[in-house]
Structure 1
Amino acid sequence: MKVNRRLHLWMAVLFVFLTFLDQLTKKIVSMYLIGNDIEIIPNLLELHYLENKGAAWGIFQNGTWILGCFSLIILGVIVFAYTKVPQDKRFNFLRFILCLLAAGALGNCIDRFWHGYVIDFIYVSAINFPVFNVADCYVTVAAGLLIYAFTFRYKNDFEKEEKE
């Protein structure tokens, strides 16, 4: 099947844009938010600057290099998976999901290697959820979309393979 170069170019542009957006939000936050929490929705949502030297929920504290290297490996796996996605048009949704995952992985990876920590700033105070950032949102949304995609959208593709 013919490779759609235009689609791959758009996915590359989207990847760069999403990564840039993540880094831009972190730059703005680091310029204006340190020591100045902002309550967006009272008792629900705040902007709160945090330097996270670990992973989610503060695990692996001071594991910056290990987590950074792990992020690079994951990014490599995502790129490899992207190259293996069938060229069929109906798999464009999967390409988009992988693009989101890659942008999230790279966004936090840049932080780890550049700053020695990940800049987190979105805090859902109503449930005392760990502080997170835009890259984390990409990864979370992509994970949810992957579950949806393989449970519903591409389910028949795997059932066909099992029968063959």
Structure 2
Amino acid sequence: MLYIALAAAAGLIGLDQLTKILIDSNMQLHQSIPIISFGDTNVLNITYERNPGAAFSILEGKQLFLILFTAVVIVVMLYLMLSKRVKKPKYIWSMSLIVAGGIGNLIDRVIRGEVVDFIDVRIINFAVFNVADICAVLGALGLLLFVVADEIKEQKNKRSAKKSTAAGEIEKSTNEDK
């Protein structure tokens, strides 16, 4: 299952790079093409932008930091998965998405010095993003939700075990009194 998740990540990296190449070679910077509209309202556009920073252009001009940070995250995630320290499929899939997103944008930073963005959701006036961003965000959200859900489940199990132990002690004490 690990290798299927990593193969899917490789496919997503390929899709990310293919879309960026198509945008870069067929559009001019800042050009926008409406894809979905309702009346006069553009909901989804393909808009060619380049981002020299991270999300919302934070850390603009900090390319070396972004490259090193992304590389470390990718290496740690791959190590955890390949060393079998992470075994649950939900974690493996989430981490594979993070790796795909990280590698997709890392390629851009190393080759272009900035990230190509093109998915422009206008209805919510959101930042322009790309396939790698979608992978990284979905992977991070999934990982966060799964960790929190597992922690809640573990805490409930601990409380149930304490109640069972306490109930057993009371029953044992009651039987000894007879």
Q: Unmatched 5+ residue regions in structure 2?
A: 162-178
Establish whether residue 85 from structure 1 lines up as the match of residue 86 from structure 2: yes
1:117, distance to aligned residue in structure 2 (A): 0.5
Q: Is the 8 A contact 2:95 2:140 kept in 1?
A: no
RMSD: 2.3
Aligned residue runs from structure 1 range 144-163, under 5 A: 144-152=141-149, 155-157=152-154
| TM-score, structure 2 normalization | 0.77
Q: Where do 4+ consecutive residues of structure 1 move more than 4 Å? A: 157-163
Greater Rg over alpha carbons, structure: 2
Aligned counterpart for 1:125 among listed residues 112, 122, 125: 122
Cα distance in 2 for partners of 1:65, 1:111 equals 13
Establish whether residue 24 from structure 1 lines up as the match of residue 4 from structure 2: no
Cα distance in 2 for partners of 1:161, 1:113 equals 47
With 74-83 and 22-31 compared, the bigger mean Cα shift is at: 74-83
1:29 maps to amino acid: I
Cα distance in 2 for partners of 1:158, 1:73 equals 31
Establish whether residue 39 from structure 1 lines up as the match of residue 34 from structure 2: yes
Cα distance in 2 for partners of 1:118, 1:37 equals 17
Q: Unmatched 5+ residue regions in structure 1?
A: 1-6
Which whole-Å deviations, capped at 9, do the CAs of 1:88-109 have from their partners, x for residues lacking one?
Answer: xxx1121111100100000000
Aligned counterpart for 1:143 among listed residues 140, 144, 161: 140
Give the corresponding residue for 1:134.
131
The 3-state SS of whatever aligns with 1:126 is coil
| TM-score, structure 1 normalization | 0.83
Cα distance in 2 for partners of 1:161, 1:98 equals 27
